[in-house]
Structure 1
Amino acid sequence: MTRLAPGSTLGILGGGQLGRMLSQAANRLGFDVVILDPEENSPAGRVSRGQIVAPYDDPNALDVMGKVCDAVTFEFENVPAASVDRIRAGGARVAPGPMALAVAQDRLEEKTFLNGVGATTVAFHAVATLEDLHRGLEKLGTPSLLKTRREGYDGKGQVWIKAAKGATAAWDALGGRPCILEARAPFLRELSIIAARGRDGAVAVYPLGENRHAGGVLRTTLAPAVVDARIDKAARRIAKAVLNGLEYVGVVGIELFDLGEGRLLVNEIAPRVHNTGHWTQDGCACDQFEQHVRAVMGWPLGPTAAHASVEMTNLLGDEVDRWAALSGKSDVRIHLYGKAPARPGRKMGHVNRVRPLQH
């Protein structure tokens, strides 16, 4: 395993806020960064050595990325598999690998994989036709959640079915596409765990966070979450099973349902740095972004212990205009993404409120 030296070039597919924070972390470690994104003057592009403005499947752009970059990663999971193959052909390392992408891009594949490695999920049923949906509702009951198998995030691409008579409307609302029907989880709260696996197989796990949503969008993460030893042990076991099962390299975010009495179900996984891990920027010596860069570039993984308690809150839409008031608070760290315009619901930044670590 070769550790890429400072001065090497990291390519990032995606120029949004996650790419921006990955680039900033890579800069601190002495790496040059090249962004590929179809949007000119992207948030990540403005803090990087350069940006290639092109679609993610543009063959010429991918060839350039493969030649000028020593390693390539991505800030979102819906990267075309053919694009990854083309970059590899140019000679660059790509991480995470194709198995992680294939699993994360299809919710049915994801849940099948998770249960296969002992990371239990809610009961589910594959839906390819309206008749499949009716059979699934008979099997799982209502309320059940219908999701498209591919794409969809922040509450998009999913519909709750509260009674069997709502099946047709739900199917039509999602465009009659291949879906997965999921049983309702009787959870007490949502937790998440951020973990990393290096090229040498080493695994590092951050403390759990507790997440609170509004309108299907994450609003706040409290970390480290208050959990007992059973929950902590179960979450770490799940993280290691997922990372090793995928032969993963990089940081992964895993959303969990806490059912109480030490029982956890996996909601979903994200093969990238994750919104629920932003607290690590001000709560840990090595945050999730540096950790991901370390793993992708072949460096040893950094420490994951928390040195502070953090309340991370997303700034959505015009909430970013509060920057002036927030900037005067001694316990607040502001992270703005350089986006415009501030559309309703758009993630414009986040703030970390830092407190002494509670033991």
Structure 2
Amino acid sequence: MTPLPPGSTIGILGGGQLGRMLSQAASRLGFNVVILDPEENSPAGRVSQGQIVAAYDDSTALMVLGRTCQAVTFEFENVPAASVERLLQGGAAVSPGPRALAVAQDRVEEKTFLNGVGAPTVAFASVDSLDDLLAGLERLGAPALLKTRREGYDGKGQVWVRSAKMAADAWHAIGEQPAILEAKADFVRELSVIAARGRDGRIAVYPLGENIHKGGVLKTTVAPATVDAKTEKRARAIAKAILEGLDYIGVLGVELFDLGEGRLLVNEIAPRVHNTGHWTQDGCVCDQFEQHIRAIAGWPLGPVTAHARVQMTNLLGTDIDQWAKLAAKPDHRLHLYGKAEARPGRKMAHVNRITPL
């Protein structure tokens, strides 16, 4: 694929905040953007050339999107894999590809793939019944984390199983659906790395971020994280192995458990731009959103060197009411998502606090 010239049209499956920021980045590079999302007047749709209001599996909508756009991507990993396959069959250039989507949509397949490319994870067991759960607890020990194999995000669809006596209740709590049981990780802190791979196979890796979660939802990322050279080198090697193993095009988020002394385990991957990479908007010349557009459009990847230290904080629910106070702070950059209703726990915006390096 030759680099897309400015004036080309890029399609995005998903109209939330990630789609919105991707669309804004694409516009800066001279591209037109069309959003496909079932929610009319979506946050991304309002900053784009147009929006197709339809379900993600609507065959007519997918056909129109594929014929209108010279490249198509997605803002979240739970878009139906069949929709991506349909776009590809219609001749659309979709990035990242269906392999990345399939791996990220199934936690058992994800961990199997990761270990296969040399990106270690915690020990795990596939769970399809209460008997499987009990056997997994016997092998992995308690406490262990039970998660649904598919979907579930920001702490949803998961429960800690602290003893075999809790197994039946835990199995019921996740709806008795296919699951994964993960051994507890004795980690020092949580890190993440945002990396990109272009159509020419070149890879760019941003500095690591250190993350703090609250209630299963990311609250804060500080980047560049304070890490030693061994840890940085290992994280970069893990990201590279994943990108090449998936023949990946675009930006990828990798969440890591830091065990200390350069030892890292992969918690999970996200085949898209990622919340822990929002710091790059004000900490790097080329942020993760522009980087993703560059990659899927066949452009050269942009620079990833940090020019500032950033503390990114998510604003959830009524946190958004602080917008005027935050906007008045000279070292803060406020990024609002354009969502009308501030529901509890809903990501409404983020703010980057900037400290020059």
Q: Distance in 2 between matches of 1:271 and 1:85?
A: 16
Aligned pair 1:171/2:171, yes or no?
yes
Cα deviation digits, residues 217-258 of structure 1 (max 9, x gap): 000000000000010000000000000000000000000000
Secondary structure of 2:191's aligned partner: strand
1:271 matched residue in structure 2: 271
Structure 1 segment 246-257 matched on structure 2, within 5 A: 246-257=246-257
1:294 matched residue in structure 2: 294
1:48 matched residue in structure 2: 48
Secondary structure of 1:101's aligned partner: helix
1:320 matched residue in structure 2: 320
1:81 matched residue in structure 2: 81
Cα deviation digits, residues 80-130 of structure 1 (max 9, x gap): 121112212332200000110010000000000000000000000011111
Q: Distance in 1 between matches of 2:81 and 2:262?
A: 37
Contact 1:250 1:272 in 2 (8 A): yes
Secondary structure of 1:24's aligned partner: helix
Cα deviation digits, residues 175-225 of structure 1 (max 9, x gap): 110100000000010000000000110000000000001100000000000
Secondary structure of 1:94's aligned partner: coil
Q: Distance in 1 between matches of 2:156 and 2:89?
A: 34
Cα deviation digits, residues 41-73 of structure 1 (max 9, x gap): 000000000000000000000000110000000
1:156 matched residue in structure 2: 156
Structure 1 segment 176-195 matched on structure 2, within 5 A: 176-195=176-195
* TM-score (norm. length: structure 1): 0.99
1:96 matched residue in structure 2: 96
Q: Which amino acid aligns with 1:251?
A: V
Q: Distance in 2 between matches of 1:273 and 1:347?
A: 15
Cα deviation digits, residues 309-339 of structure 1 (max 9, x gap): 0000000011111111111111000000000
Secondary structure of 2:238's aligned partner: helix
Secondary structure of 2:257's aligned partner: strand
Stretches of structure 2 that go unaligned for 5 or more consecutive residues are none
2:306 matched residue in structure 1: 306
1:67 matched residue in structure 2: 67
Contact 1:9 1:32 in 2 (8 A): yes
Structure 1 segment 101-116 matched on structure 2, within 5 A: 101-116=101-116
* TM-score (norm. length: structure 2): 0.99
Q: Which amino acid aligns with 2:232?
A: D
Contact 1:70 1:91 in 2 (8 A): no
Q: Distance in 2 between matches of 1:291 and 1:162?
A: 42
Stretches of structure 1 that go unaligned for 5 or more consecutive residues are none
**1:134 deviation in Å?**
0.5
Q: Which amino acid aligns with 2:304?
A: T
Q: Distance in 2 between matches of 1:356 and 1:59?
A: 49
TM-align CA RMSD = 0.6
Q: Distance in 1 between matches of 2:42 and 2:147?
A: 30
Could you list the structure 1 runs, at least 4 aligned residues long, displaced by more than 4 angstroms after superposition. none
Contact 1:66 1:86 in 2 (8 A): no
Contact 1:190 1:258 in 2 (8 A): yes
Q: Which amino acid aligns with 1:209?
A: G
2:212 matched residue in structure 1: 212
* Identical residues among aligned pairs (%): 75
2:280 matched residue in structure 1: 280
Q: Distance in 2 between matches of 1:106 and 1:301?
A: 29
Q: Distance in 2 between matches of 1:88 and 1:33?
A: 19
Contact 1:4 1:298 in 2 (8 A): yes
Aligned pair 1:17/2:9, yes or no?
no
